Structure 1
Amino acid sequence: MYNGDSIRVSKSGVLLDGQNRLMAAQKAKVNLVCDLIVGLEDEVFNTIDQGRTRQKGHLVARDLGSITTTDAQTLTTAVTRVIKYQESLSQLTTGGFEGKIAHKFTAPRVIEYVNQHPELLDQLEVIKKEFGVRCNLSRATLLYVYHIGSRYDATYTLKFLRKAVLAIGLTGDETLYFYHQCLNEYKAKQSNWTKAEF
């Protein structure tokens, strides 16, 4: 039934709104009666349906294309934590007064980081496979730790996470060694960690 909802297309030819309706019409082999609006700015996508800016995870999923929204949200949270860590910001930092540091955590910044570090997508798959829903730490936290630790030793970091999260695979001496590496090489500061991460 015609209800006034439109199919919206950007100036560059990107379908901004209506994909599900068009796919449903194609699958059902029926004609779709609707309005068609073309020539919109690409940024309009951020406000469609919700009337407000979409969550970063949705924008990251859209731009990466080969990732689910759930995985994109995990990736977004992990990358935001990595950026905070690298820039010596507290993990509790948000947008800051009048958004002065909010630019650090935007979807384009997350996508830029993922493009510079494509191994993150493989690391996400490892975290999903290894830990599933068997622990009380979020996948984003696990990915954050695994990504940073992998800069030094991916195999050992995974062993450490198994020990820390699932309590398997490391001796006491190995655990102490890894904590020593964290504190020295990662230059970790307690004030930059959340209570759970510490």
Structure 2
Amino acid sequence: MQHVMDIAQNGNKPARIPSENSPDKTAGLWLDERIAKSKFGVVSEVIDLTPAMARVMLARNPGNRKLSSIIVENYARDMANGAWAFNGEPIIISNDGKLNDGQHRCEAVLASNTAIRVVLIIGPDRESRLTVDQGKTRMTGDYLGMNGHVDSVALAAAAKFVWQHVNHSFITQTQAFRPTKMEVLSFVEDHPSVAESLAAIPSKGSDAVGGRAILAFAHWTFTRVSGKPEAVSMFMDALIKGSNLVPRSPILYARNRLMSERGRLKPNEKAELIIRAWNASRRGDKVSNLPIKGGALPTVER
């Protein structure tokens, strides 16, 4: 029966690969030594995964799954921002020296030019790579819930929309512009008012006029810009309930269109329509149309 051989020398302190004139050659020799030791039992060690070591591992990566450039970009952004956490998830090298699991992290280390702390496991059979990542993927809402936030799935969606608007001036489902899980967690912690805006949006009636996440985004944005929470509450209440709305009211127009085109409007289009209704309402305009132009969202007026 294989035994686990833990060769870390300093407790939880990561092992540092010795440097020579050629970092890649040094990393390769260092890794070869561990692979040789794994013939006698699985080797487990905490290391600093440097760009040199990542290059060596990726050079020994035949037949792995297709690389996702979006995942690499997201990982690299977290690494560069200091938001990458050591969680014990290992980089796995097979007993014949091939990379079984960890190619996206290795690519992200190269992209960010940042070393990260990882557990390195060397010695499982090559075919065992077919059994990794079998558990349910934890979503951003799961992480928010684990951090004590209530209504965490809706909060994750609302925070994503707010983050996108703050950083890109529009909101989208396109993967390339979505925040990482750590960016959402950090944003929620730094902006508790996002959770407060979500709590201000009732579940009843909100789905018909854009959904709670979009409405929470609008509530947060309008409150931040206008500084008038009472006016924001009145606007959102009228949009959701449709109470006391007169003909040519911009809120009535937005409400009717959101309801009639429910399921067809994209998140950015819903947000644009609601912002245009807010702006027209603040000006006291009467409208028969509020155009949706796409692209960057309109500037929110006070």
TM-score, normalising length: structure 2: 0.37
Instruction: Quote the Cα distance in structure 2 between the aligned partners of 1:157 and 1:73.
Output: 24
Offset, 1:87: 2.1
Against the structure 1 CA distance between its residues 50 and 142, is the aligned structure 2 distance closer, same or farther, given a 3 Å change threshold? farther
Residues 159 and 187 in structure 2, CA contact (< 8 A), matched pair in contact too: yes
Residues 158 and 194 in structure 2, CA contact (< 8 A), matched pair in contact too: no
- Counterpart of 2:137 in structure 1 is 53
Residues 159 and 169 in structure 1, CA contact (< 8 A), matched pair in contact too: no
The amino acid of 1:42's aligned partner reads N
Residues 160 and 170 in structure 1, CA contact (< 8 A), matched pair in contact too: no
The amino acid of 2:194's aligned partner reads L
Residues 60 and 107 in structure 1, CA contact (< 8 A), matched pair in contact too: no
More helix per residue: 1 or 2? 1
- Counterpart of 1:167 in structure 2 is 242
Against the structure 1 CA distance between its residues 113 and 189, is the aligned structure 2 distance closer, same or farther, given a 3 Å change threshold? farther
Is 1:191 equivalent to 2:262 in the alignment?
no
Residues 249 and 281 in structure 2, CA contact (< 8 A), matched pair in contact too: no
Q: 1:147 aligns with which of 220, 225, 228?
A: 220
Instruction: Quote the Cα distance in structure 1 between the aligned partners of 2:204 and 2:88.
Output: 35
- Counterpart of 1:3 in structure 2 is none
Instruction: Quote the Cα distance in structure 2 between the aligned partners of 1:94 and 1:123.
Output: 24
- CA deviations on 1:85-115 (whole Å, 9 max, x unpaired) are 112354224222xxxx55xx12221121112
- Counterpart of 1:134 in structure 2 is 205
Instruction: Quote the Cα distance in structure 1 between the aligned partners of 2:195 and 2:214.
Output: 15
Unaligned runs of 5+ in 2: 1-11, 13-85, 90-131, 252-275, 284-291, 298-302
Q: How does 1:79-118 map to 2 (within 5 A)?
A: 79-96=159-176, 101-102=177-178, 105-118=179-192
Residues 162 and 169 in structure 1, CA contact (< 8 A), matched pair in contact too: no
Q: 1:42 aligns with which of 87, 100, 103?
A: 87
Offset, 1:84: 1.3
Offset, 1:75: 0.9
Instruction: Quote the Cα distance in structure 2 between the aligned partners of 1:82 and 1:116.
Output: 12
The amino acid of 1:56's aligned partner reads T
Structure 2 residue matching 1:42: 3-state secondary structure:
coil
Instruction: Quote the Cα distance in structure 1 between the aligned partners of 2:223 and 2:194.
Output: 10
- CA deviations on 1:121-153 (whole Å, 9 max, x unpaired) are 2222221xxx32223131111111111111112
Offset, 1:42: 2.8
- Counterpart of 1:14 in structure 2 is none
More contact order relative to length (CA 8 Å, sep ≥ 6):
1
Residues 250 and 281 in structure 2, CA contact (< 8 A), matched pair in contact too: no
Q: 1:120 aligns with which of 187, 194, 206?
A: 194
Structure 1 residue matching 2:145: 3-state secondary structure:
helix
Offset, 1:76: 0.9
Return structure 1 stretches of 4+ with deviation > 3 angstroms. 169-178, 180-183
The amino acid of 2:174's aligned partner reads T
Q: Tell which structure's C-alpha radius of gyration is larger.
A: 2
User: What is the root-mean-square deviation of aligned Cα atoms in Å?
Assistant: 3.5
Instruction: Quote the Cα distance in structure 2 between the aligned partners of 1:182 and 1:170.
Output: 15
